[in-house]
Chains A and B, each alone.
Chain A
């Protein structure tokens, strides 16, 4: 069957469809506000006119390309093309400022390729078994998974004081996520009668405001994105080899991304943050994180691309989409009469395996695009700010509007932009705030549903083996940074006493 699938795949039409899909995906993912979900959803009507396999290849290519594409503006302009690229922006943009934008793009391409390829391999080999495991996760585990993501907040703090501020930022994000409709009763909360807030504060406009608009406002005081001192080194990036030691972060990110991707409803954003957090914990140079760490980019990108194959495991085997893009893709499958389940791997096996194998080709295409085009993409950071800022502001406004066709979202974006500058200047953590905003709804729904299932007893969070395993991981992730912060604060106090 695999041979037949390969035969169906290696035709000029199929290969062309993968190429077009992947390239379009990279472009769409690279534009703030345009997400992979939107691109796949837009493609569904187009695929009506195509052969089912060609349509699927096109959609798969878009999915892979968009996950990688989000990292390009995140690295160069601190404007994450997709929410999953926030962690990449935290590390990638400082590298661009140091004149290492090209290298950061190269790391992102290699890490994304490895993550994507690894997860596709897992999808090909053990999809049905993994899908059954994912189904054993219930609301308590989803709440704990959100906690696992939120544990990353501790990593964003570097001393005792900053830890409290990072935690406050995370809680502000969680509080903002409460705005909208109560997930259990359907009651409207804190919407002030604004219809556009009934679904809550959309995180894409908030993200654009906090990371893109705030950065553009900050840049008004400079002539170029790249620091003057780093301009000379910028021209050398073509010859720069990949830094040593990043392969560990890449493999770690690939594994974490694939596992998190398999869990229905979980997304690439959590995968990227968890991978980033774990990489920081295991790094020999944790002090570089937040200041342009190649390991941070590698882990985050491998993590979010690892989600691609992972999210397709429950989608193809059980019909439960791993995330919103997989849901749009599922729509495309159903339209072509392909019902997820065992039949997809037997009756329609040729088409299904051709689709899975096409993801390998899509990964190769964006790797080549990333490696060869990185020097040209990186030139964006050399554009004078008097031209760059207005254009990025326009695309940011457009991105904030395009998600829900809402002018309110544009103002939310603007408000978040200004708030981000004030919060950053006073030492609060933007990463923690956005993490809280993104994970808030998952945490709240999981917490509330688990308590309902457990008849109000909190023991439900501690009795199931999966939940216990997650507690162990959370505690392990928290212990190391807490000890580090304690040691650092003790050392500082000692130095102050001596001084």
Chain B
């Protein structure tokens, strides 16, 4: 996807959001029609105008420009980027079932291997060290509550 297409899509999405936001204030209670509803209406209107303005700028540029469209690369290394993102989603999902320690004990080494770490001892020591640090500093010393699992 070219950068321009992405920009147009985003701006169109924001424009729709602005319109919906503006319209939604009609359902606000009568008592706040002159205060918070007014504020939200202002936000909707301002966002809508700015998005429309930027859309015109972007589309106008497209007509003027003879150069090939600039490609939008989200990641330098797509396998690692999307692999890490997927691992993060799985990690966050499993936090509430496996609990913090087990989910983290799986996430840390897997992501290290994904990102190119190959020394088992380094991976093991880093993962173990981080989890011990979290246990002693966060859980014991600062008494920060960590995600609890339903299975363990």
Kindly specify which of A114-122, A237-245, A357-365, A391-399 makes contact with the partner chain: A391-399
In the complex, A213 has a CB within 8 A of chain B: yes
Chain B residues in 8 Å Cβ range of A42: 142-143
Contacting residue for B43 out of A161, A175, A451, CB 8 A: A175
In the complex, A410 has a CB within 8 A of chain B: yes
Question: A243 to B148, alpha carbons, bound, how many Å?
Answer: 48
Q: Given known contacts A171-B43, A393-B111, A425-B74, is B145 in contact with A402 (CB within 8 Å)?
A: yes
Interface contact B32-A448, CB-CB below 8 Å: yes
Interface contact B95-A407, CB-CB below 8 Å: yes
Interface contact B112-A164, CB-CB below 8 Å: no
Q: Nearest-CB distance from B123 to chain A (Å)? A: 8
Interface contact A187-B32, CB-CB below 8 Å: yes
What is the chain B residue whose CB lies nearest that of A166? B50
- Measured as residues with beta carbon below 8 angstroms from the partner, the interface class of chain B is 35 or more
Chain B residues in 8 Å Cβ range of A422: 6, 10, 74
Scan B19-48; emit 1 where CB is below 8 A from any A CB, else 0.
Answer: 001001000110110111011100110110
In the complex, A354 has a CB within 8 A of chain B: no
Interface contact A217-B75, CB-CB below 8 Å: yes
The count of chain A contact residues (Cβ–Cβ below 8 Å) is 62
Chain B residues in 8 Å Cβ range of A410: 92, 95, 147
Interface contact A444-B39, CB-CB below 8 Å: yes
Q: Given known contacts A220-B76, A422-B6, is B35 in contact with A397 (CB within 8 Å)?
A: no
Contacting residue for A425 out of B6, B34, B92, CB 8 A: B6
In the complex, A49 has a CB within 8 A of chain B: no
Interface contact A171-B46, CB-CB below 8 Å: yes
Q: Nearest-CB distance from B79 to chain A (Å)? A: 9
In the complex, B59 has a CB within 8 A of chain A: no
In the complex, A15 has a CB within 8 A of chain B: no
A402-450 CB contacts (< 8 Å) to partner B: 402, 405, 407, 410-411, 414, 418, 421-423, 425-428, 443-444, 447-449
Q: Nearest-CB distance from A117 to chain B (Å)? A: 28
Chain A residues in 8 Å Cβ range of B10: 422-423, 426, 428
Question: A39 to B144, alpha carbons, bound, how many Å?
Answer: 10
In the complex, B80 has a CB within 8 A of chain A: yes
Q: Nearest-CB distance from B124 to chain A (Å)? A: 12
Q: Nearest-CB distance from B95 to chain A (Å)? A: 6
Interface contact A397-B145, CB-CB below 8 Å: no
Q: Which residues in B have some Cβ–Cβ distance to A below 8 Å?
A: 3, 6-7, 10-11, 14, 17, 21, 24, 28-29, 31-32, 34-36, 38-40, 43-44, 46-47, 50-51, 53-54, 57, 72-77, 80-81, 84-85, 88-89, 91-92, 95-96, 100, 104, 107-108, 111-112, 115-117, 122, 126, 130, 134, 138, 142-147
